[in-house]
Structures are given as structure tokens and as C-alpha cells.
Amino acid sequence: MGNAPITRRTILATSAAAGVAAATGGALLGSLTAAGTAYAAERSREAPGVQSARADVGVSAYPFPLSAVTLLPGPFASNMGRTSAYLKFVDADRLLHTFRLNVGLPSSATPCGGWESPTTELRGHSTGHLLTGLALAYANTGDTAFKAKGDYIVSVLAQCQARASTAGFNTGYLSAFPESFIDRVEARQSVWAPYYTLHKIMAGLLDMHQLAGNAQALTVLTAMAAWSKLRNDRLTLTQRQNMLDTEFGGMNEVLANLYQLTGDPNHLAAAQHFDHAEIFDPLAANQDRLAGYHANTQIPKALGAIREYHATGTTRYRDIAVNFWDIVVGHHTYVIGGNSNGEYFQTPDRIASELSDSTCEVCNTYNMLKLTRQLFFTNPARLDYLEYHENALWNQMLGEQDPTSAHGFVTYYTPLRAGGIKTYSNDYNNFTCDHGTGMETHVKFADSIYYHDDASTLYVTQFIASTLTWAARGVTIRQDTTFPETNTTRLTVTGNAAFTLKLRVPAWATGATVTLNGTAVTASPGSFVTIARTWTTGDAVVLTMPMAVTRAATPDSATTQAVKVGPIVLAGAYGTSNLSSLPTLNPATLAATATPLQYTATASTGQVTLLPFYKMHQQRYTVYWNVTTTTPLPEFVAYYKFDETGGTSAADATGNGKTAALSGGATWTAGRTGNAVNLDGSSGHVVLPSGILAGADACTVAAWVRIDTLATWSRIFDFGTGTGVNMFLTPRSSGGTARFAITTSGAGAEQRINAPAALPTGAWTHVAVTLSGSVGVLYVNGAEVARNAALTLTPAALGSTTQNRIGRSQYADPYLDGAVDGLRLYSRALSAAEISALATAAA
């Protein structure tokens, strides 16, 4: 695929203007063979839950039917309730409007907006998501209102498909846009992602058949699959591979699933048409070449690969999926479990440098969780699949839904820049891909708590209040928990049966304990506790999981960190404050409050409250912090006497080892006392260590300076990371006076202390700046000359500065022409008396 950073949101803005192609398909493919439809007719009499024609290969863990698990009151049940309300509310005819018009059927429904508007090239995808959501909700709850709406949608889609030939399309074609969109894909002409939409429709039909027992859905789906195969059979391998540069969703997945259901090898052949060599070949070799690729275009391909492995036993497919998961989770995943910036994979292990408003598209994580689940079925010994599932489920997916919306509106991106804020969908004028996946995610939480081995082993993998009815063993398991607000979960058995319980003990739960009927059972974090016995009514297992406060650093910056309690990511609550950079957190000040999982701490922005990120709504926040040191800075940070007589190193007389370096031709000269560093006004300067005042909430910078030539905007010192983030002292500003300034948002946002005059020339002058709380004071020769009592920034707000200089600006300003002696840095504000003493003492 092309590597240009074009997002689907960008395409939305331009697709309407691109023009809608003619309503007829390209060259007619001819009549479809009857094999697929005949098999569909045979399967149409089957009820939901029947065995597939083919068993999955290489699988040793299995899900329970959704009907076997009931969520108990808690955050997941609440989210499900809101999405269920939306599934019942949304007007099916409004979503079916463009399907009807596409084949010449009348429709008086009000068109939808957003990605379902009549001119948007992706229109129709939400109908597929809606079908899946309705099928999932029906399967879990048994509420026939969900099935009735799904059945109605299927019946209308069947009517539209039956008119394909009349509309000029090939038999079996079904969509809300003309078949000419497929012509454009094959010709590599500009078009959004027509196969992506077809996949959503096909997946919805499959779910309506398998989960809601709709036989007509399988008939329609099988005809679509046959259309896909015949359409792609006519292409050469090169043409097909070129076509796969355009996003196609999980076409290989749904067709492989259909093959497993029906046993028809035509569906497997159709699935393999969508094996994308450009992506699969490097993954098969365990090579990470994902940078620059659209993330949610690639994740479904890996999901299709694992299903093709389950269908064929070909281990290359398995390796592709496993390697993809390992690469993405290990090298492209943020602390909340999401991935991508601007919808694209970036350079591996770049996280701190990729924080924006468009991080972690939610669809990516929706598909990563689907992939994770299939990989666990394949290898249940890998508990890291379950750890990732827990992380992404709690820290991104649960919190993507707005709890104040009756219809469970959801986010598109999860912003992770400092000052980010979640924005949400709406009823009819959104319908992004994440709107669609949100209709599924929040009604299927029950599918990933419990698994079995198709014999007598029960896996309990997530800690969500729920009940499991294990019909095959004749028992019910009730899980009572308010995790993570409390650190225990209790499993209670009703019924009598012999089985083996495998209870996950999380890797993060150091010191975890397990009891069976009050008796301790050996538990090791990062493993299953295995209890094999004959269980009787009332047997209870209690897992207690200590939840330590930890910090997770990003791979590209040890000082960029997120705070976690157990597996739960905390975020700093900033209300309406739109931060311009990562705040600096003092981790030693983290303190629990009376509210579970709520903490307070001191940051460079002041006192801040930290909440679970999944509870962060309707306000700005930061997930990542600048944490520059685990121990406080020494009070006397550094002292440069500049008494050296040769070389380019300036020793730190405090013994803290913060050696400075002369650069650009700076030399040694006679100082006020002993020697000093001589700066020539053209390139000479002194470089201090990175992070010299990192984390300091107060400071003093003091030195003796001799100005030989006074140049406007030259610098005595300038500590920063560029023109946007810095603090400096100039002997003369454009206003004609000495100035101290500090900023985290460039010159226009500087907080300043302006002296009444410029510094003198030709004589040694003692200068000092002190910062403490909101007060900054500028001293000249031991006397206060100016102050600002309304400061809000401190050195800590600058983070770990990397360009800390004496005599040189962050800008292209003049270098200092003069000499500097006796430079002192403190992590506290010296008193006026202490400054006076320095000004009257030897350097």
C-alpha cells in the first residue's frame, strides 16, 4: 500500500467530491455457479448453535456460547446496557436507505449522515456492524427484539440482492454503492474501501445465521461469497495483489469462517484471494516492516491468517498471525493497549515521540482483541495473550464509551498527548468505523471471561462480575467482584461435578493469594492456579491480587512514563486546561485518596488528581508524564568555578558530577577570582548536562558576568529543548532591559521578569534569578531589581531539557561577548540575604 499519511477521516472529507461512479458494474462476470446457493439452502434449515461442517485445526481452548454467560452489575454491564439501548433505538430503514436506492427500490427514510451519507463511498458498513451487534446482543440476552430487528434487515438485504441483475450488477452482489466501485479497485483508481464495507455486511450476515438462527442470512452470504470468488477468479495473481493495496477489512477472515461453517472449498479459495503477500511475506519471516502502513488495514489480515490456519493447518498462516501480534504488542503498543498514530504504524518502539490527538484508533484495538482471542484458542499456555486482553479491555475499550450518553456514544481516536480529550459519536451523523465496532464491542464482553478445553477444564481469565452456566458439566460458576476498585474476586460453584479449574493469576499481582474454601492454594503470578477436584455446591475460590503503584516507561524515553495501579492506567485530570507539554510528575508525592483508584500528586502544573483512564470523560487529561528522576535533585545542583587553565571540560565543584563542556571556541581567561570562561560573541559557549534542573519546582541560577559588547538578545544562560520550551536570562532584550523569561509554548507565551535597565558592560556584575511557587525575583549585584509574583511555570514544567547553554540562545540570536565566572545552580530559591552574600563573596 502507499505510505502517504492519509487517514480515513481525510478521505471522508474528499470522497463526496470525488464523484460517484455509474450505477452499473464493470464487465459482467456472467452467471454464478449454483453450488454456493445450493449449499446455503441446505444449511438454511439449521438452528443457531449447530456444529460447523469442519472443526478448527490447531485449537485447544474454546469459548462458551454467549448465552452461557451473564454479566452482573458493574461497569461492563452498564456499557452493555447503553449500547443495547442504541441497538434498539437506531432506525434500520435509515441505514437501509442507500441499499434500496442502489438497486432502484423506493425509500422514504431520512438519509443518515457521516460515513453513511448517500455520497460517502464507505456507506453500508454500519449495517453490517449493526447486524453483528444485534446478533451478539440476542445471543447473550435472549431478547427477541434484537433478533426481530436483525431478521428484518436481513430480509431487506435479500430483496436488494435479488435485484442485482435488474440494477445492472452481477448476481450475488450486495452493497449500498454500485459495483463499479469494485471496478475502480481492480483498476487501481481512487476509491475508498469497497471490500471493507462488503466484509462488514458479510460478517453481519454470518453472525445473524450462527448466533440468531437466521437461515436467510446464510443464503444471502453464500451468494455474496460466490460473487467474490468469481469476480476475483478472473484476475491474474498480479492484479489481485495490486488490488489488495486498498483496504479490504477481514475478507479472508469471513470467507475462512464460512468455509469452516459449510465445508465448501470454494469459500476457502475465495478467502485466499485476499492473502496479501506484501504484508504476509515479511511477517512469515518475523520481520517488522509495518512502519508507514495503515494499522487497521493490516490487523484484519492477521486475523484472517489465523483463521486460515484453523481452516487448513498450514503453519505459515499461524506464524504470520503470531509474529504480527508479537511485533505489534511488543513494539507498537501504547500503555493503554492501543496502537498507531494518525492511523498508521510508526517506527518500532517510538511511543514518547508519537503522542497526539490521533493516537490509538479504537478499531485497531477491537481487531487486536479479536486476534488475541483466536491466538489464545491456538495456544492457551501463553498467558501474555490474556494480560494484553486485560490491559486493552480496561484501559481503552471500556473507557471508549461515554457513560453520560444514553446510547453509549464512543470515541474514534484515544488522544494521548498532554491535554487530550475524548470526543464521541452521535445517533445518526457519525457512523465512523469506530461507531460501527462500538455497536459490537459493548455487547460481547461476556465472550472473553471464561473458556473450556472441550472436556473438563475451565479457564477463568478475566475478573468481571458474571455467572457462567456450564451445561456440559451441570454446574454454575458465579464470579463476584468489584475489581479493580477492590483487589479480590470470588468464584462460587453451584452443582456437583468433577472438573479442573485454571484461574489466571496476573503477572502484575506480586504476592497474590488463592484460597479454596478458606485453605491456601499455591499461587504464582503470571500463571494459572490449577485445581482439579470434584466440586460441590458452595465451594468457593478467592483470588486476592495486590495492586502496586508502578510506572511504565516508554521504550524511546526512560523519562516519559505512565502511572498504573495493578493493570489500571491512571490519568491526570486537567479539566479545561489544554496542556502544551507533558507535565513533570513528582512520583514521591503520589498518595491514595479515600476514593478507590484515585490518587493525588504534585506535578509541575501544581496539585493534580489521577483517575483510572477508563473513567476519564468530559475533561482534558494526560496519560504520560515527564518523570525525570526517582530521587530529588540535590539542593546544590552544580557549581562551576571555571578555574581550569586548559582543555574543554569544566568541573562541577559540588561533587555531583555534572561536568560542563566548552564549545565553539570558548577559552579560559582571568576571572573575577581565579579563572573564568571567555566567550567571543561569535560561536563560543558552554554546554551543561541534559536535565540539569529537571524536576525542580524551585531554583536559583547565579553567576558573575562581564559583558564586553552588549548585543540584544544574547544570553547569559538559556536552558531548554528549542524555541518552544526554555528559560533564559538576557542582558538586554528588545525593550532595552535585562530580562528573565520561561515558557513551554514559545515566545508568545513567555512569563517574564523585566529589569529596569540592561546589564552594564566592562565590569564584573553578579546576577541571580530565583523561582519559588508563583514568585520569581531578578537580582543584580545582590539587590532585587524586579520580580513577577504571577508565575505558573517552574523548571519542572520544561521537562528534561537537552539544550542547556551558557552564552548561547535557543534562537539564532547573538552569542554572548564577555566572560562568565562562578556559576551556581540550586534546586531551591535562595533568600535575599543569601543572594547578597554571594554577591559580596569571592567567586
Give yes or no for residue 642 having a pLDDT over 90.
Answer: yes
Give yes or no for residue 551 having a pLDDT over 50.
Answer: yes
Torsion angles phi and psi, residue 263, rounded to 5 = 80, 5
C-alpha cell at 393: 479491555
The pLDDT value given to residue 802: 84
The mean pLDDT of 804-809, rounded to a whole number, is 97
Contacts 24+ apart (CB under 8 A), 510-518: 510/546, 510/548, 511/546, 512/543, 512/544, 512/545, 512/546, 513/543, 513/544, 514/541, 514/542, 514/543, 514/544, 515/541, 515/542, 516/540, 516/541
Dump pLDDT digits (tens) for 462-519: 999 999 999 999 999 999 999 999 999 999 999 999 999 999 999 999 899 999 999 9
Give yes or no for residue 586 having a pLDDT over 80.
Answer: yes
Beta bridge partners, 586, equal 602
Q: Smallest Cα–Cα separation from 431: which of 683, 123, 662?
A: 123
Split at pLDDT 50, 70, 90, the class of 751 is: very high
The mean pLDDT of 441-445, rounded to a whole number, is 98
CA distances from 444 to 51, 400, 432, 588 (A): 21, 15, 20, 40
In CATH terms, the fold of domain 636-840 is: Jelly Rolls (2.60.120)
Dump pLDDT digits (tens) for 216-251: 999 999 999 999 999 999 999 999 999 999 999 999
Q: What class, spelled out in words, does domain 451-483+488-544 have in CATH?
A: mainly beta
The pLDDT value given to residue 691: 86
CA distances from 494 to 479, 563, 828 (A): 11, 39, 64
CA distances from 147 to 44, 133, 201 (A): 16, 10, 16
The pLDDT value given to residue 5: 38
CA distances from 380 to 59, 454, 470, 674 (A): 9, 13, 19, 71
CA distances from 329 to 345, 349, 630 (A): 12, 10, 27
Distance of alpha carbon 596 from its chain centroid, rounded? 24
The pLDDT value given to residue 42: 29
CA distances from 261 to 49, 50, 151, 173, 265 (A): 11, 9, 20, 21, 11
Q: Side chain identity at 750, as an amino acid letter? A: E
Q: Smallest Cα–Cα separation from 121: which of 178, 171, 49, 168?
A: 178
All residues at 6 or more sequence positions from 525 whose CB lies less than 8 Å from its CB, including other chains: 505, 506, 507, 508, 509, 510, 512
User: Average pLDDT of the chain?
Assistant: 92
Give the residue extent of every domain in the chain: 8-12+37-42+64-448, 451-483+488-544, 549-626, 636-840
Counting residues of the chain whose pLDDT is more than 90, the rounded percentage is 88
The rounded distance, in Å, linking the Cα atoms of 544 and 695 is 36
- Alpha helices, DSSP H only, in 49-124? 75-89, 92-102
The pLDDT value given to residue 6: 41
Check residues 452 and 510 and name the one with the higher pLDDT: 452
The mean pLDDT of 773-782, rounded to a whole number, is 96
The rounded distance, in Å, linking the Cα atoms of 286 and 316 is 11
The pLDDT value given to residue 695: 81
- Alpha helices, DSSP H only, in 263-314? 265-272, 277-284, 295-312
The mean pLDDT of 623-633, rounded to a whole number, is 80
Asked which of 179-183, 405-409, 547-551, 745-749 is least confident by mean pLDDT, the reply is 745-749
Q: Side chain identity at 216, as an amino acid letter? A: Q
**Structure pTM?**
0.74
339 burial (CB, 10 Å; 0-12 / 13-18 / 19+) is buried
Check residues 841 and 636 and name the one with the higher pLDDT: 636
106 burial (CB, 10 Å; 0-12 / 13-18 / 19+) is exposed
The pLDDT value given to residue 631: 63
The answer to whether the CB of 1 falls within 8 A of the CB of 294 is yes
Beta strands in 350-456 (DSSP E): 450-452
Neighbours of 656 (CB within 10 A): 15
Split at pLDDT 50, 70, 90, the class of 629 is: low
The mean pLDDT of 275-302, rounded to a whole number, is 98
The pLDDT value given to residue 26: 31
Dump pLDDT digits (tens) for 710-734: 999 999 999 998 888 899 999 999 9
The answer to whether the CB of 584 falls within 8 A of the CB of 628 is yes
The pLDDT value given to residue 359: 98
In CATH terms, the fold of domain 8-12+37-42+64-448 is: Glycosyltransferase (1.50.10)
The answer to whether the CB of 443 falls within 8 A of the CB of 408 is no
The rounded distance, in Å, linking the Cα atoms of 424 and 618 is 10
Helix (H, G, I), strand (E, B) or coil at 612: strand
The rounded distance, in Å, linking the Cα atoms of 517 and 492 is 10
Distance of alpha carbon 274 from its chain centroid, rounded? 27
Dump pLDDT digits (tens) for 45-78: 233 455 789 999 999 999 999 999 999 999 999 9
The answer to whether the CB of 560 falls within 8 A of the CB of 625 is yes
The mean pLDDT of 27-40, rounded to a whole number, is 31
**What is the DSSP-derived secondary structure letter of residue 68?**
G
